[in-house]
Every structure is written in C-alpha cells, then in structure tokens.
Amino acid sequence: MTARLAMAIMGLAMGSLLGGVKDARELISKSKRNDVEVMKVLDLVRSDLTEEGAAEVIGWVIENGFAQERKRVGEVIWKLPKNDQLMLKYVRILSFYGEKGQLEEVIGKLPKGRVHQEARFRLALTVAEDAQRNLTLNDAERAARNHEAKAILEKLEKEEGVNEFVEKWVADLKYKITHLVVGCEAPEIEGVDSEGKKITLSEYRGKVVLLPFWGMW
C-alpha cells in the first residue's frame, strides 16, 4: 500500500467522524471564498441537532441553500427544539422562492398560532405573486390563482386572535388582488373635472378611461 493511498483511507475514516456545530461553522467560514457546499454544512450539523448553535447553522442553510437544501431542511427542522424565529425564517424563504408545495407541507405540520397564521399568509402571497408574474398563465388560470389566494386570506380574516401585523398584511393583499390586478374591478375614484364638476370613476363603467397621475415634490 502506498503512503498516498494510506493517507487517503485515513482521511475518509476521519471524515466520517466529523460532525457538529463546530465543524459546520468552520465550513461556513469558507463561504467567503465561495467554495462551501451547503449540503455538507447541513449534514455536519445533523449529527447532533440538540447541540448549542445548531439552530443558527440551520438558519444559515435556509438563507444560503438551494431548493434541494431547503427541502432537506424541511425534513430535519422539526427535530430541533421549538424555535419560532427559525420557522418564520423558513416559511418566508419558501415564499420568497415560490415553493408552494413545500410551504403547504410545513403549514400542515405547524400548530395553531402566530407562525401558522403567517405561514398561511405567505402561502396566499406566493399564489398571488405567481398569478401576476407567471407569463405562461392565461387569463382564466390567473383569475383562478387570485381566487385561491383570496380564499386563504378570507379564512384568515374570520379567525379570532390573528396577530395585528398579519391582519394588516391580509387586508392589504386582499385589497390588491381584489381591485388592483388585471381583470378586477378598479376601486372608486372621486375628483373634479376641468370645469369643477364632481365626477366618479364608476360613471364611466364600460368605457376606456385614461387616468393621468402627477404631483409636485
């Protein structure tokens, strides 16, 4: 057996013993050189999820991983001690990347409460944003997605004890997808014409209306 081969075998054997937050953090420190593999970081910390600092490392994986790492996090995050901030970070990242299926899976496991409420709002937001940004959708499909998002929001509205921030987000998003997207009824607008006569937008229903907006700052 050559010396090089012996060293390689020893390296593999020692590598299998590595794990934990310390090794994960050491690997994360290399990220400044863009040569760290997020999956390796996740595998290292998985060796002991009760170790102090494990949640911090998992948070780094959530923020820096790709779809496959986020899916793997979804398999291990429930084994961590309860951490609402970490779970909120997870559902927000899933929503940001439009991972509807994964978000629905998380919602199905979450207990009732603030995190569950925000996760459902994020699901509605994900669906609504897909309706606006997905250029492959036709008008009927776009309307169906907006209807799906609105149904989620209306169910949240009827619940008691909804967090005040979530309540405001729900109201704002519902208004947007009800009045401010293509195919919806525009909100009422009141004003005066060039002769000072009071007019309303609803008076021109069925007609093409151009509304110029301007201001001075």
Per-residue pLDDT of the chain (217 residues), as tens digits, is 444 434 433 443 344 445 789 888 888 887 765 556 888 888 888 888 888 899 999 999 999 988 988 999 988 899 888 899 999 999 999 999 999 999 999 999 999 999 999 999 999 999 999 999 999 999 899 999 999 999 999 999 999 999 999 999 999 999 999 988 877 777 888 888 888 899 898 888 888 888 777 778 7
How much helix, strand and coil, in percent to the nearest 5, is found in the chain?
65, 5, 35
Could you tell me if residue 137 is inside a domain?
A: yes
Q: How far is CA 173 from the centre of its chain?
A: 15
Could you tell me if residue 213 is inside a domain?
A: no
pLDDT of residue 37: 82
CB-CB contact of 117 with 143 (8 Å)? no
pLDDT of residue 182: 73
Residue type at 80 in one-letter notation: L
Could you tell me if residue 56 is inside a domain?
A: yes
Q: How far is CA 125 from the centre of its chain?
A: 8
Could you tell me if residue 110 is inside a domain?
A: yes
Domain count, the chain: 1
- Report which of 125, 121, 123, 114 is spatially closest to residue 87, judged by C-alpha positions: 114
Could you tell me if residue 194 is inside a domain?
A: no
- Residue whose tokens read 């390796």: 40
pLDDT of residue 36: 65
Could you tell me if residue 44 is inside a domain?
A: yes
Could you tell me if residue 113 is inside a domain?
A: yes
Q: How far apart are CA 202 and CA 189, in angstroms?
A: 8
For residue 49, give Cα distances in angstroms to 52, 54, 75, 76.
8, 6, 12, 9
Could you tell me if residue 215 is inside a domain?
A: no
pLDDT of residue 3: 45
pLDDT of residue 18: 54
Q: How far apart are CA 34 and CA 115, in angstroms?
A: 33
Q: How far is CA 76 from the centre of its chain?
A: 18
pLDDT of residue 85: 93
Provide the residue range defining the domain that includes 112.
3-189
